[in-house]
């Protein structure tokens, strides 16, 4: 399984994407995947744990006060894509591949990969090498 590198300063929703604002429950970064917790706030996903891979998952694309490196703080309002196209310049995506939430890699949560993690949760597919279509499975995540 290879994790996908997304430049947090370049990820952007495209026309036709469905976005919504959320408040972050923890610090994160644009281009990371997050789940909506019981309080309605976002936490980064981790495909090693079903609890962080089930329910509504979204892709963070902008922060109200994000830093120049795309970092968003705990308590910050962010814009996240629930469904639709997202620009990911430099990501080198493969339109024939499904992408999944990734297991944590050296303490980094919220990543996606070209293969399922411990818990299988598909998050979408590329439309072209630098455009991803957010389309998470609505079924419960399953453990492998």
- State pTM to two decimals: 0.91
| Cβ atoms 16, 84 nearer than 8 A | yes
The residue that leads in pLDDT, 23 or 143, is 23
- Span 67-72, mean pLDDT? 93
pLDDT at 5: 87
Report the alpha-carbon distance of residue 122 to residue 127 in Å, rounded.
15
Report the alpha-carbon distance of residue 55 to residue 84 in Å, rounded.
18
* Residue 25 CB coordination number (10 Å): 18
| Cβ atoms 143, 119 nearer than 8 A | yes
pLDDT at 135: 95
Report the alpha-carbon distance of residue 137 to residue 114 in Å, rounded.
15
49 φ/ψ angles, rounded to the nearest 5 degrees: -130, 125
Share of the chain above pLDDT 90, in %: 67
pLDDT at 111: 86
Cα separations in angstroms, 101 against 4, 31, 86, 115: 10, 12, 16, 8
């Amino acid at each position: 399984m290879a994790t996908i590198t997304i430049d947090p300063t370049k990820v952007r929703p495209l026309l036709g994407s469905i976005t919504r604002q959320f408040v972050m429950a923890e610090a994160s970064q644009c281009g990371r995947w997050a789940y909506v917790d019981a309080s309605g706030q976002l936490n980064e996903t981790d495909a090693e744990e079903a609890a962080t891979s089930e329910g509504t998952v979204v892709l963070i694309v902008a922060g109200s006060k994000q830093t120049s490196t795309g970092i968003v703080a705990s308590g910050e309002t962010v814009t996240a894509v629930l469904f639709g196209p997202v620009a990911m310049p430099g990501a080198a995506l493969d339109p024939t591949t499904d992408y999944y939430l990734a297991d944590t890699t050296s303490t980094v949560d919220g990543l996606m990969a070209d293969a399922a993690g411990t818990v299988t949760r598909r998050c979408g597919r590329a439309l072209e090498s630098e455009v991803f279509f957010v389309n998470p499975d609505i079924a419960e995540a399953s453990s492998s």
